[in-house]
Amino acid sequence: MEINRDLELVKKYQKEIILINQTIGLLEWDQQTYMPKEGAKARAEQHAFLGSLSHEKIISDELFSAIERLKKIELSGDDRIMIERVYRDASKARKLPKKFIEELSKTASLSFNAWQDAKKEKDFELFKPHLEKIIGLKKKEAKFIRLEGHPYNSLLDSFEEGMTSEELKPKFEELKKELINLLRKIEESETYKSQKRVLTKKEFPREYQMHFVKDVSKRIGLGEDYSRVDFAEHPFMVRIGTNDLRITTNIKDDPFFSFGSSIHESGHALYELNLPIEHEFNFLCDASSYGLHESQSKFWENMIGLSESFWKYYFEKFNSKFELENNFDKWLNEVNFVFPGKIRVEADEVHYCLHVILRFEIELDLIEGTIEVKDLPQIWNEKMQEYFGVIPENDSEGVMQDVHWSQGTFGYFPTYAIGTIYATQLFEALRKEFPEIEKDIEIGDYSKIKEWLRENIHKHGRKFTSEDIIKNVCNEGLNPGVYIKYLNDKYSKIYHLK
């Protein structure tokens, strides 16, 4: 039958696209972990070739004709949803010329290496011409896609389907206002004025940090047979294929950087591990959005890894080895202390979303063309002074601290705040279903949590939008108010706020 032939054709194309993209993921993982520096030029050519090949397949006339025929038929179940997803992706991709994709892939690969050098040298001028090219191409991309509303929507939609800047701006404005209000209260408290990190400033050897990282990762549900941990400048996770998940971390002077980032990336990996295997080689075996993906990492990093229950299990192991004064309360408060740091990935819970909002505001202005790349260091530092009360000492800890812009991923940053908010909503829903879940966390048992996340989030893959999934679990969509209440309740206790 023609229907079956068309379905098989569409599935064949999806499998090929997925395999190509997984190969690109492997190349990117290698580039950020083990690739020799002088391999950059060849890697850029490889990226461009594979990116172009993947694009050729998604925009294929043969594929699109089969999709259009299938859309006219009353398909049922997952086949219907799968065709809707492929049609959406193909329609969008067909707006982007092949030469544009090649140029963007090559430019982004070279830009990444320029960013690494510029960051090392603390010299924005080395990166500036590459970033100007990237932004010029992203403006072109927005014009090619041309979704309704702000041009930024055409970039944001690639990471958070259905979300718009018009919806995010007022929510982020309210969130920014509430976060700054809470920060001012904290800064005025006597606890804040006298706070010192003593226990958490002890030296935790690299090998012990890695022992902790691997133990938590294993308890979360990641075995060494299908995952591994390596080192990269900017921690990330990538799925190379089914049961092949790569996590990276970076061990710094502050051990909680490796702890937090590794728990964070393990949350991402668990999501990828539990995606619907029956759709292994079609577009339903994917997260519904980057925001929902981020909700899984922030769920484990914040709601679990910073909680009292989590440290009730791990504190004694640290206490017996590093002499932490047998003072659990002091340790827990230090783990959660608020400091106006300059680095997003090292930020505490209260400052974190402010870092994201700062980037979102700059991205909007860059795509609008109301600011220029040459002015970014100054604009960045002014916003840091206004929101955080600190100014970066150099551009490496300022405007160049993140890898994202070098790779052309404009529209990605807002998903970090979206995911952080979703994580709080999900944990609230979990506690309603299991009121005593903290008792499980206290003994290092995450089995109920893993199963709850799998059933409510992971197993759906990309069948539904993130908002639909969150509404189904939490009875409402994105709600910053839940996150604001969580922060106020938690930090009022730590800092004795009225």
Q: Could you confirm whether 308 is annotated as catalytic?
A: no
CB 490 within 8 A of CB 332: no
What are the residues whose beta carbons fall under 8 Å from the beta carbon of 469, sequence distance 6 or more?
Answer: 288, 292, 456, 457, 460
Structure tokens at 120: 């090392």
Q: From edge to edge, which strands make up the β-sheet containing 227-231?
A: 227-231, 244-249, 237-241
Please state, in angstroms and rounded to a whole number, the distance separating the CA atoms of residues 255 and 319. 15
Please state, in angstroms and rounded to a whole number, the distance separating the CA atoms of residues 481 and 178. 9
CB 348 within 8 A of CB 388: no
Please state, in angstroms and rounded to a whole number, the distance separating the CA atoms of residues 455 and 450. 9
Q: Where are the alpha helices (DSSP H) in 231-325?
A: 255-273, 290-298, 308-322
**Per DSSP, what are the bridge partners of residue 239?**
245
- Which position among 160, 178, 265, 363 bears the catalytic label? 265
Closest among 204, 230, 206, 202 to 217, alpha carbons compared: 230
Place of tokens 């940053």: 413
Measured at the CA of 167, the angle between CA 161 and CA 171, to 5 degrees, comes to 120
Amino acid letter at 189? Answer: S
Closest among 415, 166, 404, 413 to 287, alpha carbons compared: 415
Q: What is the DSSP letter of 253?
A: S
CB 32 within 8 A of CB 232: yes
Tell me the catalytic residues: 265
